[in-house]
Structure 1
Amino acid sequence: MLNSKKRSKKNQKYEKYWSTTMALTDFSGQQFIRTLAMIVEHIDKYKLDKYKISDLKSGNRTSPIVHRKELEEKIFSIYPNDSRDGASTRKQINEFIKLGFVKPFLNGYVPQAKRYINERISDSERKRLFSEVVYANASFDSSTVRDDTQNNQVKFLVNTLLNRRLEKKRLPIINFDELMGLMQLDIKNKKYANEKTILFQTNWAKKINFKDRKYNQINHLCSILRSMQFLTVKGADKSIKISLVKDAEKYIPEMGDTNRDPYRFGLMKKAVYDESRRVYDDLVCWVTKKPSEGLVVSHIYPSAEALKNYDVEAAYDPNNAFLLSPGNVDQYFDKHKMTIDSEGNLVFSKDVRREFINEVKENSYHIDKVILNDSRKKYLAIHNKTFHEKYEEIVK
């Protein structure tokens, strides 16, 4: 009896693994976007983000104030399925919580969600938003009745890949067997897996034949990773390999002692580079309009200050940055010896060399209005404030 099939199946019920099954795997498709829009609308309608988690729970179920049945029926009316008991629709709702767009218990949504459902944004912008949200917030064991957001499997996997980059000259790879092993790992209090852990987990996954029993979960996780910037998933079945794309190292800095997250900074840097190419057809300094070696993605509201104030979104917001040439332009702006007003004009302190001020005036250096969107103006107001607190007089 100890080795009976019945007993073995019962034990599998309690097997721990990353629950990556997704109802929808076209993350930029119309159904995904419209379903997210309906969830956002529902949360706003009942102001669910204003409640405490304890108010949204009723034992192991959601509280009536969540009106979950109403949301399920609304989604089902647009996208009916064969599951009349609502299970498939609940699975769709939980997907947005697992991916990190929506908070557990429907207790709100991330700031990027409303931009994501805007059907007019570009495919590249949507991919950046998906990458940012999933990397920062994904939690495969979270749902409308469970909060496990302290464990983010996608961030863990990406950081495992990035830390492998330190040990290998070639682009780091996680192969199929290693992925199976990592999906068995409890990541609590872990930032990434080292080589010994990967080996042990891989051996265990092979022993328990994880691949044949959890095929869908593996495929769905690969669908998520394929949709993220800087990652590529090649091959099929046992030949699957996950790696960084070839140009990833142009954007993602090496892992180091800084508190800055290298993956999110890479997303920000690429977005700024893409904006420069879109506006100026090239990578140029946004003040001088000239190409330059070593262009700097310069924060307007300093990232260190933003992170210190727990304003993580600002630290990695592409609108909180200018692309500047190294040297005078970047250094004067970064050290608040120079600021930029809401019209794009450069404003100088007494600590700026006269030769540079003359150069700016002779060449009419400025920031173009197409760059100065409303978000950048808000960050500039912070930069202006710091500048004027530091310098009472400006140089004309």
Structure 2
Amino acid sequence: MQQQNYEEYWKLTNAFTDYNGRKFLDTLKTCVNFVDKYLKEEYAETKYSRLQLAVAKVNPISLISVRKSINQLVKLGFINPFLLSYHPQVHDYINAKTNRKRETLLSKIVYSNSSFNRAVNKNSSIKQINFLIQTLIEQGKLSKDEIIALMLVDIEARTEPFLTAYELQEYVKKAKDEDFVSRKYNQVAYLYNLLGKLDDLVFVKDDLYFKEDAQQIFGEDLKAIIKRRDPYLHRLYKNQLQEECEELYGYPMCVLEKLCYPVLIASHIKPFIQSDENEAYDPNNGLLLSRTVDSLFDLKYISFTDDGEMLFSKRVSEDVKRFWKNYRLEKTVLNIHRTKYLAHHRNLMFTIDSIS
């Protein structure tokens, strides 16, 4: 296994998690129109600054978030570095009539043109998703630990476009020895979010399969295992959490940090995949959280007592614990139904800790 610096890993940018949402599509369309309008103008930082201002007009967020959103489009392969071109199927993506069609187009764009090493002012031919999928072809499935381990691979230093089973386990050991997931939990969540959106890939619990292989292995049970969200019911579920915040605090906000982020996540307490139809869209089975808190909560690095005190997984580093130690959920959020869901969440965290 090639030696590499611990900090060399697959770096994603994730300003957006909903690739069908209006903000994502408006930002993409603005970038495409800008590229078309200034096609003959060479790249310069002043050109990039003008694009940032154009994006900020249609998506009024901070300039830091604007830069992240543009870089995400570059890393995913929608927009090419130096703002001189874009993927040929971008217009089809923007104008797609259904989310299902966009899912297929997203997969084509990401597989053919993404590189996490790219930036607006930097090109790269290193394709992390291709490497991951080629490894999946070789192995048949990838566990959560193996997906995380792949993020440490220096693809450029390799001769083969995949990892063997032995090499994969070496990287799994390396990731655990260096406590990679605790330090880079946001990056892990970003990769999981992207993989969950790609066509013909499916997570069965924490294992990634090609959908056809999973159907052969799990048969009719697969539908129950990979239950998909109903987009309308999920929207109503998030609306109810926002309305609850408005009643309690006057505005939708992260119920832990008490900050009105422009993007808030309707985070399930009992995981969606483990919930029945009533639990899946029960607002008591949810908390409105910031992206950072949602990542920690979703991956069971933190949980809460019935009194709202924050609990930490043993997988969380001490500096993270110190930062969050004085945060807690207010009792107004913790009704009797929500505390029952939190008990389930705590048990999941303790179970993961006991086997890790």
Alignment TM class, shorter chain as reference: 0.5 to 0.7
Contact kept, 8 Å, 1:139 with 1:151, in 2: the verdict is yes
3-state secondary structure, aligned to 1:246: helix
3-state secondary structure, aligned to 1:97: helix
Residue matched to 1:141:
117
Residue matched to 2:9:
17
- Over 3 Å counting, the alpha-carbon distance change for 1:123 and 1:248 in structure 2 is farther
- Alignment of 1:122 onto 2:98: yes
Contact kept, 8 Å, 1:21 with 1:216, in 2: the verdict is no
Residue matched to 1:151:
126
3-state secondary structure, aligned to 1:146: coil
> Cα deviations across residues 224-263 of structure 1 (Å, max 9, x unaligned)?
111111101244xxxx22111136899xxxxxxxxxxxxx
Residue matched to 1:274:
none
Give matches, 1:183-222, under 5 Å.
183-188=151-156, 189-222=159-192
Distance 2:148 2:214 in 1: 24
Distance 2:60 2:207 in 1: 35
Letter in structure 1 aligned against 2:17 = T
Contact kept, 8 Å, 2:26 with 2:58, in 1: the verdict is no
Distance 2:13 2:6 in 1: 16
Distance 2:33 2:212 in 1: 39
Contact kept, 8 Å, 2:13 with 2:71, in 1: the verdict is no
3-state secondary structure, aligned to 1:144: coil
- Over 3 Å counting, the alpha-carbon distance change for 1:68 and 1:178 in structure 2 is same
Distance 1:153 1:28 in 2: 23
- Over 3 Å counting, the alpha-carbon distance change for 1:241 and 1:121 in structure 2 is same
Letter in structure 2 aligned against 1:195 = A
TM-score normalised according to structure 1 size? 0.50
Give the counterpart of 2:75 among 91, 98, 121: 98
> Cα deviations across residues 280-337 of structure 1 (Å, max 9, x unaligned)?
xxxxxxxxxxxxxxxxxxxxxxxxxxxxxxxxxxxxxxxxxxxxxxxxxxxxxxxxxx
Letter in structure 1 aligned against 2:167 = T
Give the counterpart of 2:209 among 237, 243, 251: 243
Distance 2:52 2:45 in 1: 14
Matched pairs, number: 211
> Cα deviations across residues 120-151 of structure 1 (Å, max 9, x unaligned)?
52222211110001011110010111111x11
- Alignment of 1:41 onto 2:33: yes
Distance 1:214 1:23 in 2: 16
Percent identical across equivalent pairs?
Answer: 33
Distance 1:29 1:113 in 2: 15
Contact kept, 8 Å, 1:102 with 1:109, in 2: the verdict is yes
Residue matched to 2:272:
none
- Over 3 Å counting, the alpha-carbon distance change for 1:63 and 1:20 in structure 2 is closer
Contact kept, 8 Å, 1:230 with 1:248, in 2: the verdict is no
Structure with greater proportional helix content: 2
Give the counterpart of 1:227 among 197, 218, 221: 197
Distance 1:234 1:69 in 2: 43
Residue matched to 2:261:
none
Q: CA deviation at 1:109?
A: 0.1
Distance 2:207 2:127 in 1: 21
Q: CA deviation at 1:194?
A: 1.2
Distance 2:97 2:132 in 1: 28
Bigger radius of gyration = 1
Distance 1:76 1:63 in 2: 16
Q: CA deviation at 1:116?
A: 0.6
Distance 1:248 1:102 in 2: 33
Gaps of 5+ in 1: 1-12, 57-61, 165-171, 251-396
Contact kept, 8 Å, 1:233 with 1:241, in 2: the verdict is yes
Residue matched to 1:112:
89
Residue matched to 2:52:
72
Distance 1:138 1:145 in 2: 15
Gaps of 5+ in 2: 217-356
TM-score normalised according to structure 2 size? 0.56
- Alignment of 1:176 onto 2:152: no
Distance 2:68 2:45 in 1: 18
- Over 3 Å counting, the alpha-carbon distance change for 1:247 and 1:200 in structure 2 is closer
Residue matched to 2:347:
none
3-state secondary structure, aligned to 2:54: helix
Distance 1:23 1:133 in 2: 18
Distance 1:161 1:38 in 2: 35
- Alignment of 1:26 onto 2:18: yes
3-state secondary structure, aligned to 1:24: coil
Give the counterpart of 2:107 among 108, 114, 131: 131
Contact kept, 8 Å, 2:132 with 2:162, in 1: the verdict is yes
3-state secondary structure, aligned to 2:138: helix
Give the superposed CA RMSD.
2.2
Distance 2:150 2:171 in 1: 6
Distance 1:178 1:141 in 2: 21
3-state secondary structure, aligned to 2:202: strand
Q: CA deviation at 1:32?
A: 1.0
